[in-house]
A and B are shown apart, each in its own frame.
Chain A
Amino acid sequence: MLDIIRYVYMLRPVWAVLAALFVGAGLIAVSGVNPLTAYSELFSGAFLDYYGLAGTLVKTSPILLAGLAVILPLRAGLLNIGVEGQIYMGGLFSTFAALLLPPMPAMIHLPICILFGALGGGLWGLIPGYLKALHGLNEVIVTILLNFIAINIVSFVVGGPMMQEGAPYPYSDEIGEQLFLPIVLPGTDAHIGFLVGLVLAVAMYFLLRFTTTGFALDTIGSNPQAARYAGIPVRRYVMLSMFAAGAIGGLAGALEILGLKHRLYHLFSPGYGFDGIVVAFMAQLNPLFAPVAAFFLSGLKAGALVMQRAVGLESTVIEAILGLVIIFVAASLAFTYNRTFWKLLLERRRQVEADLGASMGEK
């Protein structure tokens, strides 16, 4: 019995998502649309249709990577709100590598572009890591500020020095066709980005589960003082985890440019960094669950437009439902499994039943 209760608790995010979809159904009903029709259009459009699935996978790539970029430092107790900025810097650096380096074979050039993106994001992530480790500055405040700075830097670059001549709004020249990422589903935009995310998720799971690095991060996350006392170099791990997280965020930006956009746009990420926070919490900080959460979330976003066309419901409702999802998931995490409490409760119940049985027998 206790095991069943424990599993029910482990599935908290699932219940929370269902609850959010239920409340969301109320929002949909306000428009006078049948929520069941809307949801079935949404999910069949996002997961069952070939092109719809491709649309979902395209979004899964940045959202999954952003989720991983939040999970890694959060295991060490650092909340990386700055993934959005890291995505922008990754996109910027990989565009630099794609457009400004001298011509070379694509076999060499493409990995360089990807590495540049990761490096750009990583250095951007290292700033809050450094300030946290050596000045004790709150990483949340610093990363929020850095997001705005990164977005403005990209706007400046594509609106000025790198703007394509005669472009109607700020964007750069197109990158060479040999640098486009391979497509997974023929005839669609679904590039290999989500596979990269999947591989990274598994790798991160093994890193966190089976290596001393993972153990050190978890120790710092639960008690930094104890970690320092145990001889773990806390500062080094803080900087390292923020650099790695930034590199993953930068990778998300690089793959978005190389795989989908093919040129750097002003405001090219519609808040994927913030979706990453939702993913991290839905996955309960476990990298293995992150792909599932990211796939589901991308499906909601991709299906929203299908739903809007099919039943005439404003797609903005999905933004509201996403907000509900994260609120419910976050709230659900406050209810932790308390073994002694449930054991006591079960024992008391057994006692009451036994007493009742005894008193029944007496009669």
Chain B
Amino acid sequence: MEQLFDAQFMADFLGSSLRLSVPIIFAAIGGVLAERSGVFNISLEGCILGGAFGAAVGTYLTGSPFCGLMLGITVAGSVGIMLAMLAVGLGINQLVAGIAINLLMVGLTSYLARLILGGDATSTLPGFHPIALPGLASIPIIGPVLFQQDILTYLMYLVVPASWWFLYRTPWGLNVRAIGDYPVAADSAGISVPFVRTVCVIVSCMLAGVGGAYLVLSQVFVFTEHMSAGKGFIALAALILGRWNPVGAFLACIFFGMSDALQLRLQFTSPDVPYQLFSMVPFLASLLALVLLSGKVRPPAAIGKKYVRGGK
């Protein structure tokens, strides 16, 4: 047990917690944005997968991880366009549309990955490497954990406060929140509900796509079939636990990342402790949070409902 208090152990543990959190943070921030505008984005899972697939293909074809990142964001953005067309344009049930997209993305990325990446699926791709921020990286323990990271992690440090600032401190953010809570009022004020929702859904998917690209370009350097493995759903759980607030969602993701890191460590160090019980922690915590906070915390009022002008 004294190993737990070892500084090196703590640094390793925090580092892996952060690495495991980054993809779900991007997805959860994206999810907050879409849900604040009143659209359930169940397809976060598919967007992560699309982002990972695009990143792998782009990097494989050009050799540059930046091109890969761009292609990953593009693929995820197209998923967003598809969701917006189905859920906002045609007005079909947002959850059904999202589930359909997830199924499509699992099949499509597996199939196309075998076609494009072929037998090379095992050879690793070039990715992003850690850049130490001068000064900050030399702080003991926390320094290397937080400030010796790759470019996508630094991007995450920017995205979290930026999304909070956008939602709560800008007129656009106010519009988004108004549309999610009471679209009739927003519409009377002259804001186009379908337009704002479409933009939010697309940006939301692009953010999740960055999370997917992180998996490929900063973590494992290969694309594997269905590598998102439920991360989109964990992100959904995180944004609920974070009460539809970007900062709250960020903290929830860090908590989930820690329980995931603990679970992985237990699998290796103490096989007699059932690791599945720790894999369950994020889901149990979210469920408990939902039950205990129900009544006090509520999702955006108009979430999941299609907006019809003049409707009730």
In the complex, which residues 111-144 of chain A have their Cβ closer than 8 Å to any Cβ of chain B? 131, 135-138, 140-142, 144
Closest B-chain residue to A135, C-beta based? Answer: B294
Q: Which partner residue on chain B sits nearest A32 by CB separation?
A: B115
Given the complex of chains A and B, what is the CA–CA distance between A152 and B92 in angstroms? 32
Which residues of chain B come closer than 8 Å to A314, judged between CB atoms?
Answer: 110-111, 114-115
A149 to B102, CA, bound (A): 20
Give the CA-CA distance A153 to B276 in the complex, in Å: 7
Which B residue's beta carbon lies closest to that of A170?
B276
Question: In A324-348, which residues have CB < 8 Å from any B CB?
Answer: 324, 326-327, 330-331, 333-334
B274:A160 contact, CB within 8 angstroms: yes
- The answer for the CA separation of A254 and B308 in the assembled complex, in Å, is 44
A20-42 interface code vs B (CB 8 A; 1 in, 0 out): 00000001001100000000000
> A323–B233 contact, CB under 8 A?
no
Closest to A157 in B: B276
Chain B residues 268-312 with CB under 8 Å of chain A are 274, 276-277, 279-280, 283-284, 286-287, 290-291, 294-295, 299, 304
Verify if A355 is at the interface (C-beta below 8 Å from B). no
Alpha-carbon distance between A140 and B90 when the two chains are bound, in angstroms: 21
> Which of B277, B290, B295 contacts A142, CB < 8 Å?
B290
Interface size class of A (residues with CB under 8 A): 35 or more
Cβ-defined partner of B294 (8 Å) among A30, A136, A324:
A136
Contact indicator B114/A316 (Cβ below 8 Å): yes
Q: Answer whether A281 and B233 are a contact pair too, CB < 8 Å, given A31-B115, A135-B291, A327-B101.
A: no
The answer to whether A131 touches B291, judged by C-beta atoms less than 8 angstroms apart, is yes
What is the CA–CA distance of A324 and B290 in the complex, to the nearest angstrom? 33
Q: Does B14 contact A (CB under 8 A)?
A: no
CB pair B283 A141 closer than 8 Å? no
The answer, yes or no, to whether A298 is at the interface (CB within 8 Å) is no
B106: chain A residues at CB < 8 Å are 319, 323
CB distance from B272 to the nearest CB of A (A): 9
- Cβ 8 A contact of B107, one of A79, A138, A153, A319: A319
The answer to whether A318 and B107 touch across the interface, beta carbons within 8 angstroms, is yes
Given contacts A79-B95, A274-B103, A330-B92, contact A156 B276 (CB under 8 A): yes
Decide: B101 and A323 in contact? CB cutoff 8 A: yes
Q: How far is the CA of A209 from the CA of B115 in the complex (A)?
A: 48
Q: Does B86 contact A (CB under 8 A)?
A: yes
Quick one: which of B96, B97, B114, B280 contacts A149, CB cutoff 8 A? Answer: B280
If A148-B283, A323-B103, A323-B108 touch, whether A330 touches B115 (CB-CB below 8 Å) is no
**B-chain residues with CB within 8 Å of residue A81 when the two chains form the complex:** 95, 99
Cβ-neighbour of A334 out of B91, B103, B225 (below 8 A): B91
CB-CB under 8 A from B8, the residues of chain A are none
Residues of chain A within 8 A (CB-CB) of B42 are: 140, 144
CA distance in complex: A152, B282 (Å) = 12
Given known contacts A31-B115, A326-B100, A152 and B279 CB-to-CB distance under 8 angstroms? yes
Residues of chain A within 8 A (CB-CB) of B97 are 327, 330
What are the residues of chain A within 8 A of B280 when measuring CB–CB? 148-149, 152-153
Q: Is there an interface contact between B276 and A152, defined as CB atoms closer than 8 Å?
A: yes
Residues in A neighbouring B304, C-beta threshold 8 A? 138
A331 and B92 within 8 A (CB): yes
> Mostly helix, strand, loop or mixed at chain A's interface?
helix
B274 touching A322, Cβ below 8 Å: no
Which residue from chain A places its CB closest to the CB of B286 in the assembled complex?
Answer: A145
| Minimal beta-carbon separation of B227 from chain A (angstroms) | 14
For chain B, give the interface size range.
35 or more
> Is A264 interfacial (CB 8 A cutoff)?
no
Query: Closest A-chain residue to B99, C-beta based?
Result: A277
**Once the chains are docked, how many angstroms separate the CA of A78 from the CA of B86?**
20
| Residue from the set B86, B92, B237, B291 with the largest chain A CB neighbour count within 10 Å | B92
| CB 8 Å contact bits of B214-253 with A (1 = contact, 0 = none) | 0000000000010000100100110010000000000000
Assess whether A159 is in contact with B274, with CB atoms less than 8 Å apart.
yes
Q: Does B105 interact with chain A (Cβ within 8 Å)?
A: yes
Q: Which B residues, 73 to 102, have Cβ-Cβ distances below 8 Å to chain A?
A: 82, 86, 90-93, 95-97, 99-102
Q: Which of B135-168 contact A (CB under 8 A)?
A: none
Alpha-carbon separation in the docked complex, A274 to B99 (Å): 8
Please tell me if the beta carbons of B277 and A156 are within 8 angstroms of each other in the complex: yes
Which B residues touch A149, using CB under 8 A? Answer: 280, 283-284, 287
A187 vs B108: C-alpha distance when bound (angstroms): 35
Q: Which residue of B has the minimal Cβ distance to A333?
A: B92
CA of A137 to CA of B290 in the docked complex: distance in angstroms? 7
Inter-chain contact A319/B290, CB cutoff 8 Å: no
A316 to B108, CA, bound (A): 8
What is the minimal beta-carbon distance from B224 to any residue of chain A, in angstroms? 13
13 CB-based A-B contacts, threshold 8 Å: A31-B115, A138-B304, A141-B236, A141-B240, A144-B233, A146-B283, A277-B99, A316-B107, A319-B103, A323-B106, A323-B107, A326-B104, A327-B82
Known: A141-B237, A326-B100, A333-B92. 7 other contacts (CB 8 A): A146-B283, A149-B284, A152-B280, A317-B107, A330-B96, A330-B97, A334-B92
